[in-house]
């Protein structure tokens, strides 16, 4: 897809597929129109501040050399250092990374933490790599992007198909280049090298907090609420377990291949354990198999979207029966689907608010690393809950006052804060 830097307009990909960047730009233009933003400000915020594309060799276990492509995109630095995860996926593209970086800018601003937005990626299938190959790829990618990352510049974190071990390799590689340990260069690290308690569960815990606030607003309780979770990875499984612990009945969950369904409720802890040893967890006993398409349309109180972008579209949105949707993934709902869901009275807690738990606790980790002083887990959880509840109430109040959707209200809050910072700083020189 070609993006015009002056207008921000894009052309749909072949076959009519709506890309993540299409969605991100459409959302931005809608809020820019609502705020009546000056065209000069729009032209700056439509495009990233900096993009780095790297092509690098990795020696494979069989002795052959394979070339990989990696990206690091920094969308905005107006409110502070850039912040954003790194994903490993065979289908990742530069446009996808651009969209994710933009969403990170709004996400950090909507929960009012002092970061700009960034995102990184390597086009690869990590499941096809040995541990040695994965480490080699990670260290070489870290070396390539080390020219623009750092604790005061750009702080990566885990994302899809990356984890604490990969962050440790990046931190170690960056530190070797500097000649001393720099734990604050990444977040989501193991505790042994400067990680924080509560980081692994942070995004899922944040989704649970948002579900609790959403149902409270809708006038019912988590106790007995029926929950459906698309995406049973780190975010979805944690959200499912924590919602079940608070009295919800989780009736269906899925991963990329398929899912399981039981109207009487699933045991999420058993499913998490089963999935660790059996990748085909949809074959677990006592459950019915279900496709992702069927799962999305199940009648339920809470639908947690924790998979990929573009899951709810104008094609399936009319059949969504959930009372509220919690977007644990980035960009799971297209703008066309948004309108349909709003007209049908479905409360959508948007991604830039719902899944901000991860970046909030990453911020806590960064602060702890800079101070070399670490908190107890209960303090991390308490601070996370406070920020998320406050942010939800601010967005809800804005939504009610301006008579707009929760997504538009969140974007108004996030974009306004970025614009204020940009205008205060001005343009150099």
The residue out of 316, 333, 354 marking a domain boundary is 354
In a domain, 63, yes or no: yes
Sign of CA dihedral 140, 144, 145, 149: positive
Read off the pLDDT of residues 255-281 as tens digits, 9 standing for 90 and up: 888 899 999 999 999 898 888 887 777
In a domain, 11, yes or no: no
Q: Which residue has the higher pLDDT, 258 or 194?
A: 194
Q: Are residues 115 and 248 both part of a single domain? A: no
Whether residue 338 lies inside any domain: the answer is yes
Is 275 one of the catalytic residues? no
Q: Show which of 354, 373, 389 is a domain's final residue.
A: 354
Closest by CA position to 121, among listed 82, 85, 165? 85
Asked whether residue 377 carries a pLDDT value surpassing 60, the answer given is yes
Return the higher-pLDDT residue of 181 and 309.
Answer: 181
DSSP 79-112: TSSEEEEEEEETT--HHHHHHHHHHHHHHHHHTT
CATH number for position 348? 3.40.50.720
Q: Is 108 inside a domain boundary?
A: yes
The domain that contains 176 carries what CATH number?
3.40.50.10860
Q: Is the pLDDT of residue 182 over 70?
A: yes
Q: Are residues 143 and 211 in the same domain?
A: no
Based on the fold, state whether residues 57 and 142 are members of the same structural domain.
yes
Are both 103 and 135 inside the same structural domain?
yes
| Mean per-residue pLDDT, 44-72 | 98
- Which pLDDT score is estimated for 426? 95
> What pLDDT, on the 0 to 100 scale, is given for residue 3?
44
334 has pLDDT over 90: yes
Whether residue 282 has pLDDT greater than 80: no
Domain match, 171 and 273 both: no
Flag whether 349 is in a domain.
Answer: yes
Whether 104 is in a domain gets the answer: yes
- Strand order of the β-sheet with 259-261 is 288-290, 259-261, 249-254, 226-230, 300-305, 322-327, 347-349
Q: Give the domain-ending residue among 126, 154, 184.
A: 184
Give the pLDDT of residue 258: 87
Residue span of the structural domain in which 59 resides: 51-184
* Residues 170 and 266 both lie in one domain: no
Pick the residue with more confidence: 309 or 248? 248
In-domain check, residue 421: no
Triad 30, 81, 195: Cα angle to 5°: 115
The 10s digit of each residue's pLDDT in 93-145 is 999 999 999 999 999 999 999 999 999 999 999 999 999 999 999 999 999 99
206 & 346 share domain: yes
**What is the pLDDT, as a whole number, of residue 16?**
46
CA distances in angstroms from 186 to 112, 114, 116, listed in the order given: 20, 16, 15
β-strand pairing of 300-305 with 226-230: parallel
pLDDT tens track for 343-368:
999 999 999 999 999 999 999 999 99
Residues 291 and 218 in one domain: yes
Active-site residue among 49, 107, 119, 249? Answer: 119
Residue whose pair of structure tokens reads 């406050």 in the numeric block: 390
Report d(CA 72, CA 94) in Å as an integer. 9
- The count of structural domains within the chain is 2
């Amino acid at each position: 897809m070609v993006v015009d830097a002056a207008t921000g307009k894009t052309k749909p990909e072949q076959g009519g597929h709506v890309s993540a960047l299409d969605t991100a730009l459409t959302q931005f233009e809608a809020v820019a129109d609502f705020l009546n933003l000056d065209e000069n400000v729009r032209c700056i915020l439509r495009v990233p501040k900096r993009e780095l594309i790297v092509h690098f060799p990795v020696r494979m276990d069989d002795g052959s050399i394979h070339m990989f492509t990696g990206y690091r995109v920094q969308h905005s630095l107006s409110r502070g250092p850039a912040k954003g995860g790194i994903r490993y996926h065979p289908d990742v593209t530069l446009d996808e990374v651009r969209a994710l970086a933009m969403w990170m800018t709004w996400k950090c601003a909507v929960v009012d933490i002092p970061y700009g937005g960034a995102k990184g990626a390597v086009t690869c299938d990590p499941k096809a790599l040995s541990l040695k190959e994965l480490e080699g790829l990670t260290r070489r990618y870290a070396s390539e992007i080390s020219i623009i990352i750092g604790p005061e510049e750009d702080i990566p974190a885990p994302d899809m198909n990356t984890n604490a071990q990969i962050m440790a390799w990046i931190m170690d590689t960056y530190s070797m280049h500097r000649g001393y340990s720099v734990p604050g260069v990444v977040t989501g690290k193991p505790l042994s090298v400067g990680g924080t308690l509560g980081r692994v569960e942070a995004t899922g815990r944040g989704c649970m907090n948002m579900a609790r606030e959403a149902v409270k607003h809708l006038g019912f309780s988590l106790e007995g609420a029926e929950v459906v979770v698309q995406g049973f990875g780190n975010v979805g499984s944690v959200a499912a377990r924590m919602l079940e612990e608070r009295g919800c009945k989780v009736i269906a969950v899925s991963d990329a291949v398929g899912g399981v369904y039981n109207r009487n409720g699933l045991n999420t802890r058993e499913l998490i354990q089963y999935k660790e040893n059996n990748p085909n967890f949809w074959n677990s006993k006592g459950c019915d198999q279900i496709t992702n398409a069927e799962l999305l349309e199940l009648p339920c109180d809470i639908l947690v979207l924790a998979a990929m972008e573009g899951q709810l579209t104008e094609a399936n949105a009319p059949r969504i029966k959930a009372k509220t949707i919690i977007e644990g993934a980035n960009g799971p709902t297209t703008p066309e689907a948004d309108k349909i869901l709003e007209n049908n009275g479905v409360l959508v807690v948007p991604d830039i608010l719902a899944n901000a738990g991860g970046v909030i606790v990453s911020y806590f980790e960064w602060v702890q690393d800079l101070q070399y002083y670490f908190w107890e887990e209960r303090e991390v959880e308490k601070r996370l809950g406070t920020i998320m509840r406050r942010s939800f109430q601010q967005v809800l109040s804005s939504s009610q006052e301006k008579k707009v959707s929760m997504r538009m209200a969140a974007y108004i809050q996030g974009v306004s804060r970025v614009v204020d910072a940009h205008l205060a700083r001005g343009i150099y020189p």
